Amino acid sequence: MIKSIRYIIQSYIEAFSIIEKGNLKKFYFLPGLISIALFILLYYFSSYISFSLFNQIERIVNIKQYSNLALLVLKLLVLVIGFLVYFLIYKSLLLIILSPFLSYISERTESTLTGVSFKFSLKENIKFVFRGILLSSRYFAIEILGTIFILLLGFIPVVNLFAPLLLLLLQGYFSGASFADYTLERKGMSHKDSSNFSKKHFTFSLINGIIFLFLFLIPIIGIFIAPLLTCVATTIGTLKLLDNK
C-alpha cells in the first residue's frame, strides 16, 4: 500500500512534465468539449426522467394525503438518487466515448517516458478501441448494480451513514481500474489479467480513481483536466508497478 501511494504521488508530479514534454497540452480540450455536449444531453434527459419518476411515485403513494414535509423529503430523495445515477451514467458514458482517445494518450505517455515508438496498426488499434469500450461497459454494469445495492442499504439505520463512502469507493476503484487498463492492454494482458492486476494493486486503482472523481467535480476546469491528467499519471504509475514486480 505504501509503495502504491508513493508511486501515485510521484506519477502526478511527473505527469505535468510529461504533458509538456510530450506536447499533450492540446489534448486537454477534446475531453472537455465532449463532456459539455454529453452533460447537456443527459441533463435534459435526466430532468425528464426525474420529473416522470416523481409523478409516478406521487400517483402510487398518493403523497398529497401526507404533510408538506413528506413531500419535501420525497423530492429530496428523488433528487439525490437522480443525481447519483446521473453522475454514474455521465462519468461511465464519458469514459466509454473517450476510450480510443485515452488509449492513444496512454501510448503517447509511454513513448515519451521510454522513447519506444509504437508502430501504428489499424487492426491492433481497432482491437484496443473495442477492448476499452467493452471493459468500460462491463465496469459500468457492475457499478450500476453496486450503486443500486448501496442505495438499498441506505434505508437501513446506521448503515446508511456509510452509503456515501461506499459509493465513492465503488466508483473510485472501477474508474482507476479503467485508466490502468490502457497500459495493461499494450502489455498483452487479458481482461482477466487486467482485473487481477487492479485487485492486486487495489490501493493504486482506488486512489487514482478517487483523484479522477475529485478532479472531475472541480467546476468548469475539472472536465478539461481530469481525463488527460489522470490518464497520464495512471500510465506512469502502472509502468512503475510493472517494472517493480
DSSP labels for 174-229? HHHHHHHHHHHTTTT--HHHHHHHHHHTHHHHHHHHHHHHHHHTSTTTHHHHHHHH
When pLDDT is cut at 50, 70 and 90, the band that residue 56 belongs to is low
Quote the CA–CA distance of 46 and 196 in Å, as a whole number: 35
pLDDT of 49 reads: 60
Asked if residue 67 has pLDDT above 70, the reply is no
Asked if residue 114 has pLDDT above 80, the reply is yes
- Identify the residue with better confidence: 74 or 36: 36
Among 46-50, 85-89, 162-166, which is the least confidently predicted range?
46-50
Residue type at 70?
A: A
When pLDDT is cut at 50, 70 and 90, the band that residue 122 belongs to is low
CA-wise closest residue to 196 among 182, 211, 184: 184
SS3 76: helix
